[in-house]
Chains A and B, each alone.
Chain A
Amino acid sequence: MTAMRASLMITCLGDMFFPEVGVSIVRLLRRLGVTVEFPQGQTCCGLPLFNSGYHAVARRVAARTVALFRDADHVVVPSGSCAWMVRHEYPGLVGEPELARDALRLAARVYELSQFLVRVLGRSEFPSTVRGRVTYHDSCHLLRGLHEAESPREVLRHLAGVEFVELPGADECCGFGGSFAVRLPEVSSQILAKKLRHVEATGAACLVACDAGCLMQMGGGLRRRGSRVRALHLAELLDGGRA
């Protein structure tokens, strides 16, 4: 196996709310022979600030992140939206020519997890931690921002003991949208309700997504309805083994 180095960008939501996703990723990547690094001092990519129009503060956050990941060979992100932010918005946002050059280099090396597994490592077969029927929600930034629909499905289709079924309206927004979810909570919740009706109609035991934001929204909604469906990050389905 070729020696490969990857830096994990855990993201703010991943660090605070879903640390086990990060742990799964580290173990999985190591098992695949990847040396995983975790640059200290990372906080958030700045997407929530950027999307709400606070570009001056987002710029400072972006500049820090570019500096932190300057030496990374590959950057792996467990959320499509944060990967999109780094890939699409950083180069134009950071401003200064030298930083912009670093941002461009970073943009070319940043991957959402499923993309890194399938497109960079060329791996789509993994041992599974779950059994039964699973379905998949396309996160907006991953699908329409990074144009990635195939990699997560590729992985799910190959999971032993798992029956992958398509979610009706999989490409429709879950209603999260960052601050949108609390600025217009009624609209956000009604969009979510429609999404969850579709999820439950599939009969899946597991709803998979590749974005912490969508998982917060859909997972929070499922729990509130007392649903038996669990919302999981793709990484949680892939068995990286225990040390």
Chain B
Amino acid sequence: MSQADLSIPFRRRAGRAMEDAFLQEALTIATTKFIGLRREAFDAFPEGERLRDVAREIKEATLQHLDRYLEQLIGNVERFGGRVHFATTPAEARAVILEIGRRAGARMAVKSKSMATEEIHLNEALEAAGIVPVETDLGEYIIQLAHERPSHIIAPAIHKTKGQIADLFGKELKRTVPADPEALTKLARGELREKFLQADLGITGANFAVADTGTVVLVTNEGNGRMVTSLPRVHVAVMGVEKVVPSMTDLMVFLAILAKSATLVQGPRRAGELEGPEEFHLVVLDNGRVDQLAGPLREALDCLRCGACLNVCPVYRQIGGHAYGHTYPGPIGILLTAMLNGPGSVKELAHASSLCGACVDACPVRIDIPRMLIELRREVDEKRIAPWIERVVFTSVGWLLARPLLYGLAGRIARVLQRPFVRDGAIRSLPLFGDWTRTRDLPAVASRTFRERWSELERETPR
């Protein structure tokens, strides 16, 4: 399954994902592995818990003065010979990048993994402009070959098993290869080496940008990012406006809780340097972020795009990323989708969570995702985006809950109505309640509710 068709209701999209046996196997293996690895990493890192709080404080303090830090960042990037472009919308960002490519006479662009470029649908725009985009992160390379989109923020091909990848390579690269991760990686590496040498343009995201040094930071674990930033003549980095951190000291806190390894880019190649691009461009993307500096989703601007909340989310673990239907999947993805496309775009997704809070515990900067999901649900209710029948039901229930006598009466009526359906104290099937009773028994309303037993209970004396 590739990108989901948004005309299909979310419930059906989720249902299809759960019927996909390969996807189910891949999700279970990968999320279980990620959870274990994270636990091990933090167990061996006792100061990690404290650093999470520090990281959160740095993020919040930076957002308070985002204008000042952006100005400082721009000044320093330019001081080292780079150029900075602001883009309010995805269309503006695409136009800026295509213009850079056109002036460079680019025919091919190698890319390092970047959710920001996914967000602005850059690859399609590059193709249309005659610039062949080549994803060089192994996972991204796989899904590009499969004409799909990432299903996880840091593990884009998490929905594929190694067997499926071997088949894909066989078909697309015309080479037979065993379903062995090492062999598959070697084959991809060989294919990609040539592209690095041919490409005129290197395009990356940015995990951080350090304001007081003008350094753009990429966190990777494959090494391809380094070649994307250094081999092509022109390097373009695309980053969300919220990625600024004040100083190198601040950066170290984030790298400690996040990183395997990082690539630091400070402008283009300077006189006398042996490697690096001739031009460096930083595209700073707003796309709804700035509005949230004072909006209900502000906390989501703290997100580091680490994907930890996806791995622990019981919903994500069942349905994977594509069923969500947008660039960013999982619990944080619902918030980011609302940020980029407005609350109307998540009227179904806002409810794709049991609010279990596992995401808050896993988040390196402790973003309170359930709180903001409830906030989105409220917006969906108050702006009357929610279905009218639902609004009527909830409003009536609320009315009833404020009238204890009627509430008690409703219980007695339910007890009469349920009679034909009760077997042995439970209900196996009940009209209008099929969504519960299809898989679960429903307890029957008790023959005497607690309130009905109280007067008798009140008279009991302890033994």
Using CB atoms and an 8 Å cutoff, list the residues of chain A in contact with chain B: 10, 12, 14-20, 22-23, 26-27, 30-31, 38, 40-44, 46, 48-55, 57-58, 60-61, 64, 140-141, 144-145, 171-173, 175-192, 216-217, 219-221, 223-224, 241-243
Given contacts A10-B450, A184-B351, A187-B352, 17 further A-B contacts (CB under 8 A): A15-B450, A19-B452, A22-B453, A23-B450, A40-B451, A49-B398, A58-B398, A60-B402, A61-B402, A64-B402, A145-B357, A175-B314, A177-B353, A183-B11, A184-B315, A188-B354, A223-B441
Cα-based distance from A14 to B443 in the complex (angstroms): 11
User: Does B361 interact with chain A (Cβ within 8 Å)?
Assistant: yes
User: Which partner residue on chain B sits nearest A61 by CB separation?
Assistant: B401
Picked from A176, A177, A243, the residue with its CB within 8 Å of the CB of B463 is A243
- Write out the residue numbers on chain B whose beta carbons fall within 8 Å of the beta carbon of A31: 462-463
Q: Which of B356, B426, B435 contacts A173 (CB 8 A)?
A: B356
For A182, the closest partner residue in chain B by CB is: B435
**Is the CB–CB distance between A224 and B356 below 8 Å?**
no
Closest to A26 in B: B457
Contacts A180-B353, A190-B18 given; does A16 touch B445 at CB 8 Å: yes
Q: How far is the CA of A184 from the CA of B444 in the complex (A)?
A: 22
* A54-B394, A243-B461 given; A144·B448 CB < 8 A: no
Given contacts A15-B451, A17-B446, contact A186 B11 (CB under 8 A): yes
Tell me, in angstroms, the Cα distance from A158 to B443 when the chains sit together: 30
Q: How many A-B residue pairs have CB under 8 A?
A: 202
Tell me if B439 and A53 are in contact (CB < 8 A).
no
Tell whether, in the assembled complex, residue B440 and residue A224 are in contact, meaning their CB atoms are under 8 Å apart. yes
Total count of chain B residues near the partner, CB < 8 A: 69
Interchain CB contact under 8 A, A52 and B377: yes
Find chain B residues with CB under 8 A from A188 CB: 354
Are B463's CB and A43's CB within 8 A? no
* CB-nearest residue of chain A to B452: A19
Known: A23-B450, A31-B463, A180-B355. A44 touches B379 (CB 8 A): no
Q: Write the B158-171 contact mask toward A (1 if CB under 8 angstroms, else 0).
A: 00000000000000
Establish whether residues A187 and B318, one from each chain, have CB atoms under 8 Å apart when the complex forms: yes
Q: Which of B354, B445, B460 has the most CB of A within 10 A?
A: B354
Given contacts A19-B448, A30-B462, contact A55 B398 (CB under 8 A): no
Instruction: Report the minimal beta-carbon distance from B357 to chain A, rounded to whole angstroms.
Output: 4
- Chain B residues with CB under 8 A of A173: 314, 354, 356, 358
Main secondary structure on B side of the interface with A: helix
Q: Is B458 an interface residue (CB 8 A)?
A: yes
Task: Offer 20 A-B interface pairs, CB within 8 angstroms, sorted by A.
Answer: A14-B450, A15-B450, A15-B451, A17-B446, A18-B443, A26-B457, A40-B451, A51-B355, A57-B395, A57-B398, A140-B354, A140-B358, A176-B354, A183-B435, A185-B436, A186-B11, A191-B314, A216-B440, A223-B426, A242-B463
Q: Which B residues touch A181, using CB under 8 A?
A: 354, 436
Q: Is B218 an interface residue (CB 8 A)?
A: no
Q: Interface digits, B417-455 against A, CB 8 Å rule (1 contact, 0 not)?
A: 000000000101000000110111111111011111110
For B414, the chain A residues whose CB sits under 8 A away are 16
> Chain B residues with Cβ under 8 A from A12's Cβ?
401
**A38–B314 CB distance below 8 A:** no
- The verdict on A220 contacting B426 (CB below 8 Å), with A18-B443, A180-B354 known, is yes
Beta-carbon contact of A220 and B460 below 8 Å: no
Asked if A186 meets B18 with Cβ closer than 8 Å, knowing A144-B357, A191-B318, A242-B463, the reply is yes
Measured CB to CB, the nearest residue on chain B to A37 is B458
Contact, CB under 8 Å: A19 / B446: yes
Which positions 123-157 of chain B face chain A at CB distance < 8 Å? none
B4 located at the interface, meaning its Cβ lies under 8 Å from any Cβ of chain A in the complex: no
- In the complex, the answer to whether A16 meets B449 with C-beta atoms within 8 Å is yes
Give the top 6 A-B pairs by smallest Cβ distance, nearest first: A177-B354, A57-B398, A53-B377, A220-B440, A243-B460, A173-B356
Known: A16-B449, A192-B440. A187 touches B381 (CB 8 A): no
B380 within 8 A of partner (CB): yes
Residue of B nearest to A8 (CB): B450
Please determine whether B314 and A44 come into contact, CB atoms closer than 8 angstroms. no
Evaluate contact between A55 and B460: CB separation under 8 angstroms: no
CB B434 to nearest CB in A, in angstroms, measures 8
Query: A54-B394, A179-B351 given as contacts; is B356 within 8 A of A144 (CB)?
Result: yes
Complex contact B439–A192 (CB within 8 A): yes
Decide if B445 touches A49 in the complex (CB within 8 Å): no
Asked whether, in the complex, the Cβ of A243 is within 8 Å of the Cβ of B462, the reply is: yes
Q: Closest residue of chain A to B403, judged by CB?
A: A43
Closest to A29 in B: B462
Contact between chains at B446 and A38 (CB < 8 Å): no
Q: Which of A15, A52, A175 contacts B381 (CB 8 A)?
A: A52
Q: How far is the CB of B135 from chain A (nearest CB, A)?
A: 30
In the complex, what residues of B have CB within 8 A of residue A15's CB? 411, 449-451
Q: Within the assembled complex, what's the spacing in Å between the Cα atoms of A182 and B436? A: 6
Query: Which residues from chain A contact B446 at a C-beta distance below 8 Å?
Result: 16-20
A1 smallest CB distance to B (angstroms): 11
Q: Is B397 an interface residue, CB under 8 A from the partner?
A: yes
- Whole-angstrom CA separation of A236 from B435 in the bound complex: 29
